[in-house]
Amino acid sequence: MSAENNKQLVRKLFEEMNTGDIHRYLALLPDDYTHTVPGKSVFAGTRTKAQLTEALQGVGMMFPKGLKMTIKGMIAEGDRVAVEAESYGETTDGNVYNNEYHWLFEVRDGKIQAAREYMCTAHAVEVFGPLMAGAK
């Protein structure tokens, strides 16, 4: 696929993410997909598609009005697409989650094979920590 086609695929991924229907989002990812969040927080690590599926189901329950991702910028070269994005959503306990991200996607055979998600994990812990503690 061309770099432009890869960008279109990543745009589609964000569109599906914003629908709140995780099955449409996950359909764009192959079974061997990996998702990595660098760092040392509870969110850090590399997850499989199955682990991501479980995490996304939990996120969906935390945002009754949805979590919206807005692409701020995108560039592509070869099989890599870089995206700057911002999220916005209100949690079930009224906290606002508004984070900024840089994503690096690797595309192969018309599917997004891998993603690395860079974000402010301190903000994520601040907002999600009380919700995660209440779920235990």
Compute the distance between CA of residue 47 and CA of residue 45 in angstroms, rounded to an integer. Answer: 6
Domain of 41, CATH number, reads: 3.10.450.50
Range of the domain at 17: 3-134
Tens of each residue's pLDDT in the chain, 136 residues: 799 999 999 999 999 999 988 888 899 999 999 999 998 888 889 999 999 888 887 777 889 898 999 999 999 999 999 999 999 999 988 889 999 999 999 999 889 999 999 999 889 888 877 655 444 4
Number of domains in the chain: 1
SS3 per-residue string spanning 19-80: HCCHHHHHCCCCCCCEEEECCCCCCCEEEEHHHHHHHHHHHHHHCCCCCEEEEEEEEEECCE
Compute the distance between CA of residue 111 and CA of residue 123 in angstroms, rounded to an integer. Answer: 30
Compute the distance between CA of residue 125 and CA of residue 21 in angstroms, rounded to an integer. Answer: 24
